[in-house]
Amino acid sequence: MGIQNFNQTIDVWINGLAQYDFDQLRTKPAQNSWSLGQVYMHLLENTGYFIEQVQICIANDDHTCEEALPAGKMMLLNQDFPDEALEGPPENADTPQPESMEQLLNSLIQLKEDARNAGVLMAESRFNGKTKHPGLGYFNASEWLQFAEMHLRHHLRQKKRIDEFLKTNFKSE
């Protein structure tokens, strides 16, 4: 587990970009749903946050006695999110569309590099701090990295649904 799993999953997202044109990335299957580009933007923002949490955990011993909540423990144990559409925080409704394909690709590559660097620092760190997930309790650095990979993988289900929509409904001009 760890950085190898993260790299495999983020590579699916990186390599997947090549199958779309920019109009497809910005097409919403429904008015109240995200485009695939918005899914990418969500993943970039959230995964960046998760990697920041890894960096905080490996820089101190704060909250070492705290634990994940039962739902968080179960997700980490199962190494997966529940197989259901989850309602995120209200600010998810404000997820922007991407500005360009290059923005997405460059940001994904940078995120992969940031995760790699965090993984190297994790291996060298003598600290075992934890930070609080907004809804799942406290995670240590390796749990945050695991959660980041799980989150990327969870959204592959959403990507598959959007891909089906694009295959059957998208008409290029």
**pLDDT at residue number 83:** 78
CA distance 120 to 154: 25
Task: Dump the DSSP string for 127-138.
Answer: ---EEEETTTEE
Mean residue pLDDT of the chain comes to 93
Is residue 31 over pLDDT 50?
yes
> What is this structure's pTM?
0.93
User: pLDDT tens-digit profile of 52-102?
Assistant: 999 999 999 999 999 999 999 999 999 999 877 666 655 666 899 999 999
Residues sharing a CB contact under 8 Å with residue 22, sequence separation 6 or more, in sequence order: 100, 101
Q: What is the pLDDT of residue 16?
A: 96
d(CA 150, CA 75): 9
Whether residue 144 is predicted with pLDDT greater than 60 in this model: the reply is yes
For residue 173, pLDDT over 60 is answered with: no
- Kindly report the CATH class assigned to 3-18+35-85+101-169: mainly alpha
Sequence spans of domains, the chain: 3-18+35-85+101-169
E strands, the chain, are 130-133, 137-140
